[in-house]
Structure 1
Amino acid sequence: MAKYKPKNILITGAAGFIASHVANRLVRNYLEYRIIVLDKLDYCSNLKNLDPSRSFPNFKFVEGDVCSPDLVKYILDTENIDTIMHFAAQTHVDNSFGNSFEFIKNNVYGTCVLLEACKVFGKIKRFVHVSTDEVYGETDENAAVGNHEASQLLPTNPYSASKAGAEMLVMAYGRSYDLPVIITRGNNVYGPHQFPEKLVPKFILLAMNGKPLPIHGDGSNVRSYLYCEDVAEAFEIVLHRGEVGHVYNVGTDEEKRVLDVATDICRLFSLDPSQTIKFVENRPFNDQRYFLDTQKLKKLGWSERTKWENGLRKTMEWYLRNFDWWGDVSAALLSHPRMLSCHIIEKDHPNAGGNSDQDRMGCDEEEPISVPKSRL
C-alpha cells in the first residue's frame, strides 16, 4: 500500500486532549509537514497542551471556530491545506443531556462547514474524520465479537447521535463530491492533559483530595480504555496508510467496569474502595457496554503498546505534577457536571443576586470540590 505524504495539515480542535497528542506527535516526527492547528479554546481546551510544538518552525496555531465558514475557507486557501484531521467536537456525554443544541451545532454543523469548504476549495487529498465507538450503540453483554466497521449505527444519546449525524455527512460528501474521506471510531482515551470531566482524570483528582469517587448507577457498565500516545500513533498510521472511503475502529480488547476503574485508582492512592466509592443517580441512559473489532486497523500495522496498569500510573503521576493545569475544575468534579449549561449570570439577569459559586455559574449541583496544594 502506497504511503500518503501530506504537506499542509489542518488539525481542528488541536488544543483539546486527543488532538493535542496527535498534533505534537506529527510536529515532532515530521519536520517536512506544516501543521496548522485550529481551536476556539473552549472550556476543555488548553494552549498548554500544545507547548511541546510551539517552538517548532512547522507549527502554527489559529484561534477560531470550525463553525465559521469564512475563517475555514480563509485557512484552506492561505495555508494551501491538502489534509484535514477533524477532531473538533463537544464530546462529554453528560453535557449532551444538558445542552444537546450545542452538540448539534459543534458536531454536525461544524463538520458540515468544513466539508462544504473542502468541496469549494477542491484541493483536499485526505479528510480524516474522528468519530466514536458510541455511534454503534450498546453492545450485547454476552457478545464475543465486537462491532466491526460495517455494523449498524444505533446511537443512544444526544452526543453519539450528533457524531453519527456528522459521519453521515462525511460519507455523503465522499460519495457525492469524491471528497477523499476516512473515518475513525475510537474507544475511550485517557492520559495526561485530559480535562477532568472525564472519568479517569476526574477520579484521580478526587482521590488526590481524599474525596469520594461518584459512580453513576451500580458501576457495572463496561468500557475499554486506550492510552493517549497509543491513540496518537493510531492516527499517525491512519493518516499515512488509511484507505480513502474506509472506516477504522481504534480500540483495545481489554475491558473494565467503571467500578474496576475506581477501585484501581483507589489502590494507587492507598484508599479503601469501600470507603471512597460513592454510588449516585445514573444518567438518563447509560450504555452497558461498547466493544470494537479492531482487526482492520491492526492490518495497517498498529497495535496497543501501553497496558492499563502502566498507562494509569503514568496518568496519575502527571496529574500529581500538574494538578493545577486546568485551574478551577470544581464544576467538572461534580457527580453530574453540566459544563455547557453552566453560565455566568449577568448583573441584570432576573436570577442575579446570589453569592455562592453555584449561583455565579448558574448551576444547582452539590458542593464544588477543589484540589488544594496541601494535599499533594
Structure 2
Amino acid sequence: MDFNRTVLVTGGSGFIGSHLVCSLVRRHPDWKIINLDNLDYCCSPRSLESVEDGANYTFIRGDVCNPRLLNHIFNTENIDVVFHLAAKTHVEASFVSPSSFRRVNIDGTRVVLAAARQARHRLQRFIYVSTDEVYGASLDEVFDESSPMRPSNPYSATKAAAEYLVKSYWDKYKFPIIITRSNNVYGPRQFTEKVIPRFLNLLKMNKKCTIHGTLPKSRHFLFVDDVIEAFLTVLEKGIVGEVYNVGTSYEIPIVQLARELIKMVKNVPDSELNDWLEFVPDRPRVDLRYPISCEKLQQLGWRAEVSWAEGIRQTVKWYQDNPDFWADTSEVRGPIGSKFESATDQ
C-alpha cells in the first residue's frame, strides 16, 4: 500500500506517545505510522491494542540510543515527520540515576537527529516534545517562549540540553525542527508514578494520598487529548525553528487535587477528606509551580477544549474501569530495578 506520509513516533508506547499514535493511525489511514519504543517500565503494550492490527501501523521495539537501528529505519523508510517523545521523565528518579537520563534524553536525541539529517529522504518536520520544567519554577512570572531556561533537576536539565541540540540543527543546517513545551499532562493510561494515577492507585488500595512536604505546590494540568491536538496543530501550522508552549490556565494545588480525587473515589463528606491525606517528607528539590503563556500556539488556532471537570471525570472513570491495566504495579514500583538503578550512579 502506498502512503501519502510516513510518521515516526519515538516513545510511542508511553502515555502521551500512545495517545498520539492512536490518534494518527485512526485519523490518517493514508499515513504510515511507525512507533519506535523499547517498552520501558512505564509502558504497556495494551495501550496500543486498539490500533495494533491497523494496516498503517508498524511497531519497532528498539532503543533510540542505537545509531545502527536509527540509521536503518531512516534508510529503509521514507520518514517525512518525526515526533520525538522518547524520554525518561520521572524527576525523583533523575536524582538517583542521572546518567540514565543523560543517555536517553540527550544521547538519544542526538542519535535520532543525526540519523534523520543523514537520511536520503528529506524530512519535512522534526517535532521535539519538551516540558515546561525547563523554565524552572516561578511564583509570579509567567514564562513565554523567550524566557530563559533555568532547569532545577536532572530531568529538566537533560530536556533543556536536548533542546539546545535540536536548536543547533536548525541554526547550522536549517533542519526543520519545532519544539513544544507543555504543562503537566494527565489522562487515561498514565503510569502510576505520576501524581494523579498515583493518588488513584493509593485510594484503590484503601491507602491515604501522600503529600510531599508542606509547601503549597500546585500544577497546571492539561488533558492528553488537548496535547495531541496541539502537536497536530504545530505539525500543520507551526513555523520551523520555533518553540511553542502548550499550556492551560487551570491550576490546582496538589492538596486540593488529592481532596477532589478522594471525594470522587471514596465519596466521603468534606469533614472526612483530611483523614485520607498523609504528609510525608519532601522529595529532592521540587518546584512550586510552572506558569506558562501559550498565546503563540493559540495564534495558530489551538485552544484547550477539555475542561478540568470533564477531563478528571474521564480519567477517574478510566482507572475505575481498568483496575488491572497496571496489574503488576504497586505504590512502590519504580523505574527498572528495585531502586531505580544503582544508588552510586553518577
1:301 match: 301
> Which letter does structure 1 place at the counterpart of 2:297?
L
What is the correspondence of 1:77-92 to structure 2 with a 5 Å cutoff? 77-92=75-90
Deviations 1:87-133 (A, max 9, x none): 00001111111111110000000000011112211521210000000
What is the TM-score when the length of structure 1 is the normalising length? 0.86
**Structure 2 residue aligned with 1:120, among 118, 121, 124?**
118
Structure 2 unaligned segments of length 5 or more: list them: none
What is the correspondence of 1:96-175 to structure 2 with a 5 Å cutoff? 96-122=94-120, 123-139=122-138, 141-143=139-141, 146-175=142-171
- Take 1:285 and 1:276, find their aligned partners in 2: how far apart are those partners? 25
2:278 match: 278
Contact 2:219 2:252 in 1 (8 A): yes
2:61 match: 63
> 1:343 and 1:281, CA in 2 relative to 1: closer, same or farther beyond 3 A?
closer
- Take 1:293 and 1:274, find their aligned partners in 2: how far apart are those partners? 33
1:315 match: 315
2:228 match: 232
Corresponding residue pairs, total: 336
What is the TM-score when the length of structure 2 is the normalising length? 0.93
How far the C-alpha of 1:218 sits from its partner, in A, is 1.6
Partner secondary structure for residue 320 of structure 1 = helix
Deviations 1:337-359 (A, max 9, x none): 64245269xxxxxxxxxxxxxxx
Deviations 1:166-203 (A, max 9, x none): 00000001111221000000000111010000000110
Structure 1 unaligned segments of length 5 or more: list them: 345-360, 364-376
- Take 1:34 and 1:298, find their aligned partners in 2: how far apart are those partners? 28
Contact 2:92 2:284 in 1 (8 A): no
- Take 1:61 and 1:121, find their aligned partners in 2: how far apart are those partners? 20
How far the C-alpha of 1:162 sits from its partner, in A, is 0.4
- Take 1:11 and 1:142, find their aligned partners in 2: how far apart are those partners? 35
Partner secondary structure for residue 314 of structure 2 = helix
* Percent of residue pairs bearing the same amino acid type: 42
2:27 match: 29
Deviations 1:308-367 (A, max 9, x none): 12111111111111111122111xx24xx64245269xxxxxxxxxxxxxxxx999xxxx
- Runs of 4+ displaced beyond 3 Å: none
> Which letter does structure 1 place at the counterpart of 2:326?
W
> Which letter does structure 2 place at the counterpart of 1:102?
S
2:193 match: 197
